[in-house]
Structure 1
Amino acid sequence: MTIDVSARTEETTRAPEHLADLVGDAETFLGEVWGIRTATFSCEPAKTLLSTADVWNELDCGSLVAPYFGILREGTDPTVSGVAETRIVQTKPRPGYAKPAAVRELVASGHVFVLSQLEDWKGPIGALVDALRTECRAQAGADAYFCAAGSDGVPAHADGAHTLTVQLEGRMRWIVGEGGQATETVLEAGDVLYVPAGRVRRGAPAGTDALHLVISLQQPTARDLAELALAVFLKGSAAAGVAGTHHFLSVEEKVAWLRSELHAHLAGQDHGALAAQAVRLRQREGRA
Structure 2
Amino acid sequence: MMIDASARTDGTRRAEGTTRTPANIADLVGDAESFLAEVWGNRTATFTCEPARGLLSMDGVWRELDCGSLVAPYFGILRQDATPTVSGVCETRIVQTKPRPGYAKPAAVRELVASGRVFLLRQLEDWNAGLGTLVDALRGECRAEVGADAYLCAAGSAGVPAHVDGAHALVVQLDGRARWVVGEGEGAFETVLEAGGVLYVPAGRVRQVAPDGTDTLHLVISVQQPTVRDLAELALAQFLKGSAAAQIAGRHHFGSPAEKVAWLRTELRAHLAGHDRGALAEQAVRLRQHEGRA
Whether these two folds match at TM > 0.5 is yes
Deviation sequence 1:165-212 (CA, Å, 0-9, x none): 000011000011111111210001000000111111111111111110
Q: Sequence identity of aligned pairs in percent? A: 78
Cα distance in 1, alignment partners of residues 155 and 268 from structure 2: 58
Cα distance in 2, alignment partners of residues 127 and 248 from structure 1: 56
Counterpart of 1:29, as a letter, is F
1:198-237 counterparts in 2 under 5 A?
Answer: 198-237=204-243
Give unpaired runs (5+ residues) of structure 1. 1-10
Counterpart of 1:272, as a letter, is G
Residue 241 of structure 1 pairs with residue 243 of structure 2: no
Shift of 1:12: 4.0
Residue 162 of structure 1 pairs with residue 168 of structure 2: yes
TM-score by length of 2: 0.92
Question: Residue 67 of structure 2: which of 54, 61, 85 is its match?
Answer: 61
Shift of 1:283: 1.9
Counterpart of 1:148, as a letter, is A
Question: Residue 189 of structure 2: which of 175, 183, 199 is its match?
Answer: 183
Counterpart of 1:104, as a letter, is R
Cα distance in 2, alignment partners of residues 12 and 189 from structure 1: 13
Q: Secondary structure at the match of 1:203?
A: strand
Maintained 8 Å contact 1:168/1:189: yes
Residue 135 of structure 1 pairs with residue 119 of structure 2: no
Cα distance in 2, alignment partners of residues 242 and 89 from structure 1: 59
TM-score by length of 1: 0.93
Q: Secondary structure at the match of 1:85?
A: strand
1:255-274 counterparts in 2 under 5 A?
Answer: 255-274=261-280
Give unpaired runs (5+ residues) of structure 2. 1-16
In the comparison of the two structures, how many residue pairs are matched? 277
Residue 276 of structure 1 pairs with residue 282 of structure 2: yes
Question: Residue 38 of structure 1: which of 34, 39, 44 is its match?
Answer: 44
Maintained 8 Å contact 1:13/1:48: no
Cα distance in 1, alignment partners of residues 98 and 117 from structure 2: 32
Deviation sequence 1:77-134 (CA, Å, 0-9, x none): 1100000111122222211110011000000101010000111111110110111111
Shift of 1:258: 1.1
Partner of 1:106: 112
Higher mean alpha-carbon deviation, 251-260 vs 268-277, is at: 251-260
Residue 91 of structure 1 pairs with residue 113 of structure 2: no
Shift of 1:247: 2.5
Partner of 2:24: 18
Deviation sequence 1:202-239 (CA, Å, 0-9, x none): 11111111110000111111100000000111111111
Shift of 1:270: 0.3
Partner of 1:8: none
| Aligned-pair Cα RMSD in Å | 1.2
Shift of 1:242: 1.6
Partner of 1:47: 53
Cα distance in 2, alignment partners of residues 167 and 285 from structure 1: 31
Cα distance in 1, alignment partners of residues 94 and 173 from structure 2: 37
Shift of 1:249: 2.3
